[in-house]
Structure 1
Amino acid sequence: MSNVATAPALADLPTGVGGFATPEFGPLVRTFARMMGGHPGAGGALSVHLHGEPLVDAWIGDAAPATAWGADTGAVVFSATKGIAATVIHRLADRGLLDYDTPVAAYWPEFAANGKERITVRQLLSHRAGLSGLPEIARGLDDILDHRLMEQRLAAAKPDHLLNIPTYHALTFGWLLAGLARAVTGRGMAELFRTEIAEPLGTDGIHLGRPPAGAATTAAELQGSRLAAVGTTYVSLFLGRAYGLPGALGAATRALFLPGLEEFVDGDNPPILETELPAGNGVCTASGLATLYGALANGGMSNGHRFLSPQTIKTMRHIETYRLDHALFYFPMLWHMGYHSLPMPGARAGFGHIGLGGSFGWADPQQGLSVGFVHNRLSLAALTSDQIASAWVLPLAVRGARATRRTTAVPSRRAA
């Protein structure tokens, strides 16, 4: 049973913000309005659930020029998609269809090629499969857009020298999980996002790629310079030559860069929406992410229904490796199986996944708290500040959760 008041008072929202919020989350919503408002053509949304109760569902700005953001506006959440794909795998494991310490090849026989017969599901989920590099499996954008081809090439690939060392599989992570899931279920990840995540949770706010016709969720247009600078001659030449460098720079460029890949996010209808990229093209509403992570924050329960077993939730919360990530410039990602924690205020007790530009979903089991944050800005000039949005969202969300517990505990004591 929730310990949150069932009919909480509502805060006055800042100018331009739609939706609702309880007074305890006023500082968070005001900061959200200040950080995300005032950018023509761009906008975003924020959702906070406490013990499954939505206490913030707010949005601001535009989903496209002259189109206001609304409750059903979703955004491309880039690598925040990885947490959803991982949850699909955990759902399969929860039903006994997978075991984390069994070799992937036991389920996906083609994966045994080139010395990969001992790589386990656990290694795959924690970015230790030695398969992070793009140049080994793809020549350009056309290959990247063919998700079945990418699954096949990864099954045939040879792991590199970083096998069993945490090395962010920026794009390959999604195809690896998709190939594993397809081998077990016979279905692709776009369908599994629907049948394993969205439908059991009763939300339309989670899709892989463009939401289908008839869906309530609509995809916001990306706004800003996007990745155009990466495609300039000198930058592209430098990044291409960096493939062979030792250390983090070489690992990062191999995981993230192919010539022409910047076109992935170009135009009003970017190619990223037209494929299945379980590492990067989820289209989600903030409330959809908060609903998913709400189940992970509350022992596997969602709206009174069992979504995952307590034992699987315990496994998901476990940090698999504290070693520094070799493709993310030795940042302490604290990898779980498909998620990460962060060594910063408001995040140490939780886990989730942040995407390019800062969109994320997050669970804090100690608080029973879940957060979804999405937006459609993608500009290299503002990328650093957008990327660290969790640094202000999560501490303020935790503060609001603690304030909510204090205010709701008073009536409980009086009633007793």
Structure 2
Amino acid sequence: MTQEICKPGFERVAEAFVDNLQNNGEVGASVCVTVDGETVVDLWGGVADPKTGAAWEADTVSVVFSCTKGATALCAHVLASRGQLDLDAPVVEQWPEFGQNGKEHVTTRMMLDHSAGVPALRARLKDSGPYEWDYMTGLLAAEQPFWQPGTRNGYHGFTFGWTVGEMVRRASSKSLGTFFREEIAEPLGLDFWIGLPEAIEPRVAPILAYPLKAEDAKTPFLRDLATDKQSIPFLFYMNVGAWRAGGANTRAGRAAEIGAANGVTNARGLAGMYRPLANGGGPLVDAATLARMGEVSMATHDDATLRIPTRFAPGFMKSMDNRRRSLGARIFGEDVDSVILGSAAFGHVGAGGSLGFADPAAGLSFGYTMNQMGPGLLMNRRGQSLVDATYQSLGYRSKDGGVWMR
């Protein structure tokens, strides 16, 4: 049986983890940290399923929502490193059908950094739509962009899985989930799936939704969601077929390949995926590809979808300090709508607050998963407290500049 790990010098991470369970509303969770390839923290605890009282065990996994985007993006970068996918070539060279209605010059890089112009679909999705790959890629190929591609960005919160995912499929001749399993998860020994095998279902902790109230609809994102059914926030959040009605807690929702949203893993899986990227690229990507993966390629003061300032590398989030820049931070707490990392770090937040990232400058990889979702659009105090404790354990002194600094 896997043993919990907390190496000397990282006690404050364990203290923050316990504090979350005792005082910050955590129900069940896991956190894992590696430094220079060595696992220095691997902890889990709490309750996996409040209905049964089942404990969160060493091998418990859960849906990690948009942390899945990091896995999907990594598939694209692995192919780019091998010379099988040119991120800056027009998508139509491999996916001709996508070049409709003004999308002729979209590149895979634009898909990765959320500037491709298709952050949502206007046509109402059928319930089973997100579970049918060809249906979703067909709609996206025909969709008219919401802006001229490449000129701005808006989080492609759900569509990312089929835009980038289809490029992975065409470049590799394997489905996204198959490529990820065969080329990344299995070689690295990760419990991480995009398209969950039925045999793993007994290990899955159900997701517990955060109870938003009508009076919470004060932020730009929530106002758009509540008042404008043609807005990008509404279409992104609501027009997702059966996924909207608790799809993360259904067999169909976990079995499908939804490369933006339904990856299943735990903290060990997230930290393990980013471990090679924190240490030169390992068997996954070459040095040039790794350098590109961490560089900001698109940023804005008003993301067209999330309606907050955002910063993206190709497929990954960079440190985003919105503690004084978002209304959500003033309503729900300062860590909401932010994810504060080191300046070299790149990774991805998942809805409710899960997170995985690599920081090559620190030789650091990090994973955090939980079942109780929190408020806001990015992190909340539980996950950020674990990130903060990790950087402090490495001798970093301050995040006042919007990134963790030594």
TM-score relative to the length of structure 1: 0.80
Q: 2:169 is aligned with what amino acid?
A: R
Choose which of 382, 397, 400 in structure 1 pairs with 2:393. Answer: 400
Partner secondary structure for residue 61 of structure 2:
strand
Give deviations 1:261-289, integer Å, cap 9, x for gaps. Answer: 57432695364213211000000111111
**Aligned sequence identity (%):** 32
CA–CA distance in structure 1, aligned partners of residues 235 and 77 of structure 2: 28
CA contact under 8 A between 2:112 and 2:314: conserved in structure 1?
yes
Q: Which moved more, 1:188-197 or 1:169-178?
A: 188-197
Residue equivalent to 1:184: 171
Residue equivalent to 1:210: 196
Q: 1:397 is aligned with what amino acid?
A: T
Residue equivalent to 2:153: 166
Choose which of 293, 299, 302 in structure 2 pairs with 1:316. Answer: 293
- Structure 1, gaps ≥5 residues long: 1-17, 231-235, 245-249, 404-416
Distance 1:162-1:270 versus aligned 2 partners, 3 A rule: farther
CA contact under 8 A between 1:264 and 1:271: conserved in structure 2?
no
Cα distance, 1:89 vs structure 2: 0.4
Give deviations 1:137-166, integer Å, cap 9, x for gaps. Answer: x43432223232101211222212253211
Distance 1:260-1:89 versus aligned 2 partners, 3 A rule: closer
Choose which of 43, 56, 68 in structure 1 pairs with 2:55. Answer: 68
Residue equivalent to 2:362: 367
Cα distance, 1:74 vs structure 2: 1.1
Distance 1:348-1:330 versus aligned 2 partners, 3 A rule: farther
CA contact under 8 A between 1:255 and 1:327: conserved in structure 2?
no
Mapping 1:142-291, distance limit 5 Å: 142-161=128-147, 163-164=149-150, 165-203=152-190, 205-213=191-199, 218-224=203-209, 239=225, 242-244=228-230, 250-258=231-239, 263-265=244-246, 269=250, 271-291=252-272
Distance 1:401-1:314 versus aligned 2 partners, 3 A rule: same
CA contact under 8 A between 1:296 and 1:363: conserved in structure 2?
yes
CA contact under 8 A between 2:128 and 2:241: conserved in structure 1?
no
Choose which of 16, 24, 42 in structure 2 pairs with 1:57. Answer: 42
CA contact under 8 A between 2:120 and 2:236: conserved in structure 1?
yes
CA–CA distance in structure 2, aligned partners of residues 155 and 267 of structure 1: 26
CA contact under 8 A between 2:30 and 2:266: conserved in structure 1?
yes
Cα distance, 1:396 vs structure 2: 1.2
CA contact under 8 A between 2:70 and 2:316: conserved in structure 1?
yes
CA–CA distance in structure 2, aligned partners of residues 279 and 187 of structure 1: 17
Cα distance, 1:54 vs structure 2: 0.4
Cα distance, 1:80 vs structure 2: 0.8
Between Structure 1 and Structure 2, how many residues are aligned? 368
The structure having more radius of gyration, on CA atoms, is 1
Cα distance, 1:202 vs structure 2: 2.2
CA contact under 8 A between 1:41 and 1:223: conserved in structure 2?
no
- Structure 2, gaps ≥5 residues long: 216-221, 322-339, 397-406
CA–CA distance in structure 1, aligned partners of residues 255 and 201 of structure 2: 18
Which structure shows the bigger proportion of residues in helix conformation? 1
CA–CA distance in structure 2, aligned partners of residues 385 and 336 of structure 1: 16
CA contact under 8 A between 1:60 and 1:69: conserved in structure 2?
yes
Residue equivalent to 2:384: 391
Residue equivalent to 1:95: 82
Distance 1:271-1:315 versus aligned 2 partners, 3 A rule: same
Mapping 1:307-346, distance limit 5 Å: 307-344=284-321, 345-346=340-341
Cα distance, 1:238 vs structure 2: 8.0
Residue equivalent to 2:334: none
TM-score relative to the length of structure 2: 0.82
Coordinate RMSD, CA, aligned: 3.0
Cα distance, 1:402 vs structure 2: 3.4
